[in-house]
Structure 1
């Protein structure tokens, strides 16, 4: 007995698994008892069956591993109920067992193996079709109980190890979720592009291991457009899956999609069986602007039950969408305000403020480049008479038409502004190396030709003789004072007005 105990101690010391401990124990029991087969079973009382998990066969009686038999007819059940775990004459003890009769069992041993909570896991058994003098082994019941206890202890160890591993996996999964939400939140705080952020979020979700597929989409009139063009084939899949939903379901942030046999058959190249499908939608106010399609890993069943994770991601992206939309609206409003601050509301030409800013820029640029340019001051002769005769509405319409004609004669690089009332200013480029006086004359003539003649307005047709025009040429070294330059051009315009009156 001492030798057997020493061997048992070695088995326990070296075994890391139930199988690693049980196989040498079964071999040892076979050598000690002389039984043809020793084996470990598991009992499933709910299903009413008993399975042979591990077997050691050395004679003509072969009990294969994975053999499953009805629990009600087994010798193990009879031994357990009668508490008789060793018998040399099976027929005398349990002659009503059909299984024992078919196998021709004569000698039999069985002892229960329990779980950590005391419930029966299975049995440690031995059987033989030959008669074996088991009664000559007084320590056999004690040895059987010891072996069963060792297996029970190893089962408990493995169960505890599995629990620890499961808790570790769950903890790691929770950490992965926390890290994922943190990464997405951090990304959304600094993001300037919803499109890029939704695409990166899909990549983060895929890298986290919580899903086997994550496809990012932009939504245009509820149409899915893949952010990655290579994934556009998924658009038809997701569109079909969403079309199967009610209208109210489509408006939710997190939508569970159907993955039935019909859908898998129709989209066999895309969808995998037994996977949970989600559609995560991103909203700007009440409008869905983006979405992420998620195909959950089969082993990540927690994801299917953890909508708060997806909802956190959806909320972060939706907050980003609203922030970017508000920023875009504010930027657009600022542009409109800036435009209104720099343009005349009637003619839409740049106003006096814009004129002085542009004049300063052109002076600085021309000075750096040692170039010159023309400044033209234009006054609408006879405009007061038009207003007095036809009214201010006609006068305003005339001003708009006049401004339009000035725009039509502008060349690339020219600038035209309404100085105020019936006065306009143009800043025009001067070609280097050519006769500047000839250029100036041609420019004035082009303006006069464009702005005189017939003006067909809504309520009246006018014959207009054209404006008075004053032109000066700015050259490097001249004054950089905008008011002074415009005063000089105004003075030349006044001279032109006097000459036109003499010849009128």
Structure 2
């Protein structure tokens, strides 16, 4: 293998971070090494039904189109793999019944399987020409090397995808309440500053409501913790169904919930909106809860709802104000 080719391979490995970018460079090098008209990478469906041309390079008359899909059982690649024949310059004489070869005008053909670390077949790396071409030992070595490099890149991308999925699942889990499926305290406290920033830019007030489920301990004591957990889940479902798409919702404690959203731009309108906000949530959470084994007639939570100016009040200050308003509501309800 020439120093120039080694240098180009090293450069491609250093500069390309995607499968497509690497393969396109390797196909160009493969064309120069094999002197073939077309070089291409295929993907074989895991069930062996179809073969797809993922990336191809066509420099002369022959055209192997990207996106072409054919039944795997009728391909030169499968025949070559089954027969252990990687190269021929007499396709018509060996596989004369191949309709695909006739349609594409393939006379010389060479391929090698692209196998992953577990031995599974990903696809094939191929080169073809409408004219007879001799394949040197060096060209065959390059073909196999490129197939290994492509397999390694595929595995790297698959690993990266799994890591990203695992990270996304971990992030979702860390921001989700295990029992109710609502956003948890961490999620709410991460979202509130964003809400305040947007409301400040729009010159709008922010509505924050803090709800505490009165008599929840009694529900646990009388009906058991399983019923209590089921009741919390039912509360969560009502909140999810009743809050608006642009409102922040979360369970921030055992029986405590927060709802927040953008309000009007006018002070008086914002105060009216806070009262309406409280009424809406109270109506949403008050009433009969039909659980699996019983029905609970629930008198509703204590709710503190405030309208604050995001230019003057921080999220923490707003939460303290809503919490204080909730305790005032609790005192009033007890009287």
Are 2:44 and 2:72, in contact at CA under 8 Å, matched by a contact in 1? Answer: no
Match of 1:259 among 72, 77, 91: 91
Relative to the length of structure 2, the TM-score reads 0.82
Match of 1:328 among 161, 169, 175: 161
How many residue pairs end up in the alignment? 320
SS across alignment from 1:268: helix
Are 1:471 and 1:493, in contact at CA under 8 Å, matched by a contact in 2? Answer: yes
Which residue is equivalent to 2:300?
466
- 1:237-256 mapped onto 2 (5 Å cutoff): 239-244=74-79, 249=82, 255=86
Which residue is equivalent to 2:104?
270
SS across alignment from 1:396: helix
Match of 2:247 among 390, 410, 414: 414
Q: Residues 373-420 of structure 1, C-alpha deviation per residue, up to 9 Å, x if partnerless?
A: 101101111211121222222222221221121111222321111111
Q: Residues 78-98 of structure 1, C-alpha deviation per residue, up to 9 Å, x if partnerless?
A: xxxxxxxxxxxxxxxxxxxxx
Give the direction of change, closer, same or farther, for the CA distance of 1:404–1:255 in structure 2 (3 Å limit). Answer: farther
> Partners in 1 of 2:225 and 2:31 — Cα distance?
68
> Partners in 1 of 2:39 and 2:25 — Cα distance?
10
Unaligned runs of 5+ in 2: 56-63
> Partners in 1 of 2:233 and 2:14 — Cα distance?
47
Which residue is equivalent to 2:51?
224
Are 1:409 and 1:450, in contact at CA under 8 Å, matched by a contact in 2? Answer: yes
> Partners in 2 of 1:195 and 1:234 — Cα distance?
18
Match of 1:281 among 92, 111, 114: 114
1:358 aligns with 2:185: no
Match of 1:374 among 199, 207, 222: 207
Displacement over 6 Å in runs of 4+: none
> Partners in 2 of 1:430 and 1:208 — Cα distance?
68
Match of 1:201 among 20, 23, 26: 26
> Partners in 2 of 1:286 and 1:458 — Cα distance?
50
SS across alignment from 1:235: strand
Give the direction of change, closer, same or farther, for the CA distance of 1:239–1:432 in structure 2 (3 Å limit). Answer: farther
Instruction: Report the Cα offset of residue 369 of structure 1.
Output: 3.6
Which structure has the larger Rg over C-alpha atoms?
1
Give the direction of change, closer, same or farther, for the CA distance of 1:237–1:406 in structure 2 (3 Å limit). Answer: closer
> Partners in 2 of 1:410 and 1:184 — Cα distance?
56
Give the direction of change, closer, same or farther, for the CA distance of 1:309–1:189 in structure 2 (3 Å limit). Answer: same
Give the direction of change, closer, same or farther, for the CA distance of 1:219–1:498 in structure 2 (3 Å limit). Answer: farther
Relative to the length of structure 1, the TM-score reads 0.56
1:446 aligns with 2:273: no
Q: Residues 149-172 of structure 1, C-alpha deviation per residue, up to 9 Å, x if partnerless?
A: xxxxxxxxxxxxxxxxxxxxxxxx
> Partners in 1 of 2:305 and 2:269 — Cα distance?
15
> Structure 1 stretch 489-498 or stretch 441-450: which is displaced more?
441-450
Which residue is equivalent to 1:10?
none
Which residue is equivalent to 1:429?
262
Are 1:195 and 1:218, in contact at CA under 8 Å, matched by a contact in 2? Answer: no
Instruction: Report the Cα offset of residue 329 of structure 1.
Output: 1.5
Which residue is equivalent to 2:179?
346
> Partners in 1 of 2:94 and 2:322 — Cα distance?
82
Give the direction of change, closer, same or farther, for the CA distance of 1:364–1:284 in structure 2 (3 Å limit). Answer: farther
- 1:122-271 mapped onto 2 (5 Å cutoff): 174-175=1-2, 179-180=4-5, 182-221=7-46, 222=48, 223-227=50-54, 230-233=65-68, 235-236=70-71, 239-244=74-79, 249=82, 255=86, 259-261=91-93, 263-265=95-97, 266=99, 267-271=101-105
Instruction: Report the Cα offset of residue 430 of structure 1.
Output: 0.7
